[in-house]
Amino acid sequence: MRAGDSVFGDLAGPLLTLEDFFKDNPTVTLAFSGGVDSSYLLYAGMRCGAEMKVCFVKTAFQPEFELQDALRFAKQVGVEIAVLEKNILDDRRIILNSPRRCYFCKRAIFEALREHAFSDGAPLIIDGTNASDSAADRPGMQALSELSVRSPLKECGLTKDDIRRLSKEAGLRTWDKPAYSCLATRIPHGRVIEEELLRRVEKAEDALFALGFTDLRVRVFDEAARIQLPGNQMSRAVDKKDDIVKAVKPYFPVVLLDLEGRG
């Protein structure tokens, strides 16, 4: 077995493997979202024998289904989750929704998580950032660096495609779960973020999920809902347009379908 090989695939490169990371850091606090990356990181840490203190920070920006998914996955792998409530809408820097919103939000969330981690005896915080994530389009990554949050998947050179493949091989139900950005990303920069608007977006997206659509976004466009779907769902959306309007209309007076779809 060469230096970069591991039981988790020949993907980590010659410098560091996940086994190396957890051997050096046997007790960690995992910032857990229930998504593809943090779920695989939880699985890998457990396989390596690490003590994983798992935390989900619940804010107004996370839809309820994300929390339920996280709880369900943790139950399946046999770990408990500490759910921390954080009222980020009290932070004016966040609700003013500048292009730096993600930085301020990440900073607030991980400061709360750091306080919990120290009190719980596991001060090293890790997250699911992977090698495909670029700091250039993720201002929140600056906050992680400032707070000394470690990202083992990124440090080991594991990309999103690698993690999906390894998750599938491991039989994890999250292997093909679509990426889901926070609800605040649905609101254009410069528009003040209000809890009522976030809930309208969440309910509109839930209504579309109930119609069988997936990997979608409901973007706020003035007072309209601008629906973005993957290209392979577009023709079905046209066929179901009356059902879509009926489902979303209770939350937005105008319902638009973005014909460019999601990339």
Do β-strands 217-221 and 224-228 pair in parallel, antiparallel, or remain unpaired?
A: antiparallel
Q: Does 238 have pLDDT greater than 90? A: yes
133 vs 251, more confident? 251
Do 74 and 162 share a structural domain?
Answer: yes
% residues pLDDT > 70 (the chain): 93
Q: Is residue 207 part of a domain?
A: yes
Last residue of some domain: 152, 169, 186?
A: 169
Q: Is 88:109 a contact under the CB 8 Å cutoff? A: yes
pLDDT given for residue 8 in this prediction: 53
| Number of domains, the chain | 2
Question: Which residue range is the domain that position 246 belongs to?
Answer: 194-257
Do 228 and 119 share a structural domain?
Answer: no
Write the pLDDT tens digit of every residue in 32-74.
999 999 999 999 999 999 999 999 999 999 999 999 999 999 9
Q: Does 220 have pLDDT greater than 90? A: yes
pLDDT band at residue 112 using 50, 70 and 90 as cut-offs? very high
Name the token pair of 247: 């489902």
C-alpha–C-alpha distance, residues 167 and 155, integer Å: 18
Q: Region 203-211: what's the mean pLDDT?
A: 98
Q: Is residue 13 part of a domain?
A: no
125-126 β-sheet, strand order: 81-85, 51-58, 27-31, 125-126
User: Rounded to the nearest 5 degrees, what angle is found at the Cα of 190, between the Cα atoms of 187 and 194?
Assistant: 50
Do 159 and 250 share a structural domain?
Answer: no
Which 3 state secondary structure label does DSSP give 4?
coil
Do 200 and 157 share a structural domain?
Answer: no
C-alpha–C-alpha distance, residues 56 and 34, integer Å: 8
Q: Region 73-90: what's the mean pLDDT?
A: 94
Size of the chain in residues: 263
Do 30 and 114 share a structural domain?
Answer: yes
C-alpha–C-alpha distance, residues 197 and 60, integer Å: 11
Do 24 and 124 share a structural domain?
Answer: yes
pLDDT given for residue 137 in this prediction: 63
Q: Is 257:241 a contact under the CB 8 Å cutoff? A: yes
User: Over the chain, what is the mean pLDDT?
Assistant: 92
Q: Is 201:218 a contact under the CB 8 Å cutoff? A: yes
Do 25 and 141 share a structural domain?
Answer: yes
Write the pLDDT tens digit of every residue in 127-170.
999 999 876 667 788 999 999 999 999 999 999 999 999 999 99
pLDDT band at residue 13 using 50, 70 and 90 as cut-offs? very low
pLDDT given for residue 134 in this prediction: 73
Q: Is residue 132 part of a domain?
A: yes
Do 154 and 24 share a structural domain?
Answer: yes
Write the pLDDT tens digit of every residue in 17-29.
999 999 999 999 9
The Cβ of residue 1 has, within 10 Å, a number of other Cβ atoms equal to 7
pLDDT given for residue 235 in this prediction: 95
pLDDT given for residue 139 in this prediction: 78
Which alpha helices (H) appear in 80-171, and where do they start and end? 92-95, 101-119, 140-146, 152-155, 160-169
pLDDT given for residue 263 in this prediction: 63
Which 3 state secondary structure label does DSSP give 143?
helix
Helix (H) or strand (E) holding 43: helix 36-47
